[in-house]
Amino acid sequence: MRPAPEDPARIPGVWRGGELERAPLEVVPTGHAALDRELPGAGWPLGTLTEVLHDGVGIGEVSFLCGALAAASREGRLIAWIGAPHLPYAPALAAMGIALERCVVIEPAHREDALWAAEQSLRSGACGAALLWLANALPGAKRAQAGDYAWLRRLQMAAQAGRSMAVLYRCTAAESVSTPAHLRVVLSGAADALELRIPKRRGPPLGVPVRIDLARRSRRRLVPQTEEAAPQPSLVRADLPRPLPRLAA
């Protein structure tokens, strides 16, 4: 007697068009039940690249991930902040439960430096999470636009190799651009709350935005304040080899 065929929807990387992927996935809870319900595996994915699209700074683009970041730091792994627009504000991170001694801030001078640092951080396995901002102001930005997909695919593979949470911050204009990321969310902020759309996930796009109330978590600014006694995360200035390893497709 032949065994019953395996349900294709149980195979990792396969899902029905109208349903979320049901195969077991490695995730960490976001700390927001409404958001977890809309994510495959009921949490923020590990071992893959995700994109957070937003315009402006300080709308809660980092705060809404505090649960996942805190979980990553509790495992004893590092959290890499690469090209952040401001130095992360240590008292706010500590209030979110993120271990400051596990934070490493990298200030790349060039776009290729940022990509190289992100790839090495993810692939090493030492980082539970790597947050990357690719500012258009960085030298090489305009020249590199055409090759972004290949570079992001490289980050996707590095995250998978290191079982790390890779988060790429981009402006909302990038929504029209193809991406190898398995998850893409779009944020808009209003009055201590975030509205979050999910145009890409392992399943159908989310048509109705998820609203996250940040006021309940006493959101604090993640930018420096004038408190001399406040502890700061360790700051590592990118001292990368020259010439850089070529980021081939």
86 pLDDT exceeds 50?
yes
111 pLDDT exceeds 80?
yes
Strand partners, 197: 186
Average pLDDT (171-188) is 91
In terms of pLDDT, which residue wins out, 23 or 98?
98
Query: In which band, very low, low, confident or very high, does the pLDDT at 145 lie, cut at 50, 70 and 90?
Result: low
Percent of all residues in the chain with a pLDDT value above 70, rounded to a whole number: 71
Average pLDDT (155-169) is 94
Strands 165-170 and 193-200: unpaired
Condensed to tens digits (0 to 9), the pLDDT of residues 15-62 reads: 455 555 555 578 888 888 999 999 888 888 899 999 999 998 888 899
Average pLDDT (175-187) is 91
Say how far apart CA 194 and CA 213 lie, in whole Å.
7
Query: In which band, very low, low, confident or very high, does the pLDDT at 6 lie, cut at 50, 70 and 90?
Result: low
In terms of pLDDT, which residue wins out, 187 or 5?
187
Residues 6+ apart with CB under 8 A from 82: 106, 108, 114, 117, 118, 121, 130, 131, 132, 133
Name residue, tokens 């940022």: 114
CA 221 to chain centre: 18
119 pLDDT exceeds 60?
yes
Q: What is the SS3 assignment for 87? A: coil
100 pLDDT exceeds 80?
yes
Specify the pLDDT at position 223. 45
233 pLDDT exceeds 70?
no
Specify the pLDDT at position 14. 57
